[in-house]
Structure 1
Amino acid sequence: MKTIPLYRPVGEKEMILILESGYKKFPPRLEWQPIFYPVLNESYASEIAEKWNTRDEAGNYLGFVTKFEVPEEVLNQYQTQNVGAGNHNELWIPSEELEGFNDVIVGDIEVIKVFIGEEFTKTANPELESLMLNIKK
């Protein structure tokens, strides 16, 4: 089975929920979030995490880049959406399909980069704090 890497930039709240799942799944979308959008390349995920997540108070000014693998045939079920520059490619997974999408993730969700915004002060989650110390951008 051929797998394809996908990336997802997340803030602190979503990262804590991923930790709580044992690095196995992404949390359900909120009612105002109609899609789950993993991105197709690390550079775009890093751009979002660094430029957007680190300026977001709701995400505690933290940006994490996660990486995970899905079977190629799953990836092929969704149309790639370009939302800006040439590398701004995403998959749009309807929120109601996220649970099934989580079930086909191969292995664990990895954290490959952490970006810390200027207004970040601290996290109350010890596991997240340890993760932040061990991952470099």
Structure 2
Amino acid sequence: MSEMSSVTILYRPVAQKELDLIEQSGWTKFPPRLPEQPIFYPVLNLEYARQITVDWNVPAYGNGYVTQFAVDAAYLKKFPVQNVGGKGYDELWIPAEELEEFNQHIVGKIEVVEQYFQS
């Protein structure tokens, strides 16, 4: 998690359908979670986001994108870092019902920083 003044840079691996919804928002918010998705989990480093994209999204959907975005650092303090399996596997767990509030704390635009396609 890198902090620049008052924001924290986070990453989120997404497939095309979610990316299309992000684009429809003007690149400013993530879409609501589906009923079977109780948490929204941005990750804290590019390498982990890349691994999820390549290992999960591309095989499952044929494509995958790594998004990067800044969030108000003070707001994020309410979410403890969750380590899910070793060094570098760090995420934040945002309850689905709090995603709209989370979106309001995104600073600037959500950007696609990497993209992958099934060969």
Provide TM-score, normalisation by structure 1. 0.82
Letter in 1 for 2:46: E
Render the CA deviation track for 1:64-86: whole Å, top value 9, x for unaligned: 00000011111111011111121
Deviation at 1:32, TM superposition (A): 0.6
Aligned-residue CA RMSD (Å): 0.9
2:22, 2:118 → 1: CA distance? 20
The aligned counterpart of 1:28 is 32
SS in structure 2 of the partner of residue 64 of structure 1: strand
Deviation at 1:109, TM superposition (A): 0.2
1:43, 1:69 → 2: CA distance? 17
Letter in 1 for 2:89: H
The aligned counterpart of 1:130 is none
Once the two structures are superposed, the pairs formed by residues 113-124 of structure 1 within 5 Å of their partners are 113-118=114-119
The aligned counterpart of 1:79 is 80
Once the two structures are superposed, the pairs formed by residues 85-96 of structure 1 within 5 Å of their partners are 85-96=86-97
For structure 1, the residue ranges without an aligned partner over 5 or more in a row are 119-137
2:96, 2:75 → 1: CA distance? 16
The aligned counterpart of 1:42 is 46
The aligned counterpart of 1:98 is 99
The aligned counterpart of 1:55 is 59
Larger radius of gyration: 1
For structure 2, the residue ranges without an aligned partner over 5 or more in a row are none
Between the two proteins, what is the percent identity of the paired residues?
A: 50
Aligned residues: 115
Provide TM-score, normalisation by structure 2. 0.94
2:76, 2:45 → 1: CA distance? 13
The aligned counterpart of 1:128 is none
1:90, 1:117 → 2: CA distance? 26
